[in-house]
Each structure stands twice: as structure tokens, then as C-alpha cells.
Amino acid sequence: MDKVVAEEIPLVGLIFILHIVHFVKRVPKELLLYSILLLGVGLLKSKYIFLSVPFIVLGLMQKENEEGLILRGDKLPLIPICCLCLVGLVIMSPFLYPTQTDLKEMRETIQLSKDLNVPLYNSWGEGWIFTYLGVETKYKISYPDPDWNNIKPPYVAYSKNEDLNCEKVNTHTYLC
């Protein structure tokens, strides 16, 4: 069974902005075309839906300035809510993937591969991070992961998904 990457499915991105998409009608007229265009692009490829958010937030701010946000008769304090969300983002940022520990282990895995002069294989979920770190890998765009059982040793593997039957060097690094 093929696994589908959610960011490639049309219309899925709408779920992420459903709570603010109705403010598009309040976007200033000179920016309305851009917001609708970016919203359309986001509907085709959900990973681009966040490009429309700044324009839609302009519509939200327009409503806030004109009449305020009212929920069940009570005016919502938009600025304190936004500040609370910003504080939450700042607090959570150090714990988002990849952490500094993950990057350190990936760099050590790359160095181990170079020191032993053996190929490096990774799970596809970490492929773009390895590319960012300077390693060219074909396991970065989509499934499947490498066929760990049919790769000829010796090689170094980095996998967060599977426990490989090899010598475990670090948390997610294996020497096969």
C-alpha cells in the first residue's frame, strides 16, 4: 500500500486555516487578489496554505479594529490571546523536531560514515535534514524507506522508525 504524504493532498490545508478563512472577505481590496490567489495555491497543495495566512490575518485585524471579535455576546481580547500564543510558541520552540541533540547525532553519523568510508542511509523523514547538513541522499522526498534487509553491509544507518538488527552506535545511529 502506498503511503500518501498529507502535504501533497489537495484541500487538506484548509483544515489548518478553517477558523480564519472567513476573514478573507475583510482583506483590504488592494490585497484581495493576492490572498485569493495564495488561498487557491494552498488548496491545490496543502503545504502552501500558510502563504495565505498573513493576508487573511489582515482581514481579521480589520474586523478587530472596526467592531471587535464577539463570541456569545462577549468581546474577545485579541491582542492578549495573540501574545499568549506567541509565548507558547517561544516556550515550545526548543522542543520541536529536529532538536539540537538530533542535529548533533546526525552530524556524528555523517562523520562516522566518512571516517569508515562507508555509505550512509537514512529514513526518508530525515532526508531533507541530511541534505541540509551536506549529505546527498535519495531518501528524502517520499516513501519508501531504504529496504534495510537488502542493503549490503557495511553501511551506517540513521533511523528513528525502526530498530535495525545492527550494532547500535547512538540513539538512532546503527553500524551495519
**Domain definitions of the chain by residue range:** 6-94, 100-175
- The pLDDT, as a whole number, for residue 173 is 92
Angle at 50 between CA 48 and CA 56, to 5 degrees: 125
Higher confidence at residue 158 or residue 25?
A: 158
Q: How many C-alpha atoms does 129 have within 13 Å on its Cβ side?
A: 20
Residue 17's CB is within 10 A of a number of other CB atoms, namely 19
What 3-state DSSP class applies to 75?
Answer: strand
Residue 156's CB is within 10 A of a number of other CB atoms, namely 23
What 3-state DSSP class applies to 52?
Answer: coil
Q: What is the mean pLDDT of residues 34-47?
A: 87
Higher confidence at residue 126 or residue 16?
A: 126
Predicted TM-score (pTM) of this structure:
0.58
Higher confidence at residue 4 or residue 122?
A: 122
DSSP-derived secondary structure letter, 27: S
- The pLDDT, as a whole number, for residue 5 is 65
- The pLDDT, as a whole number, for residue 1 is 44
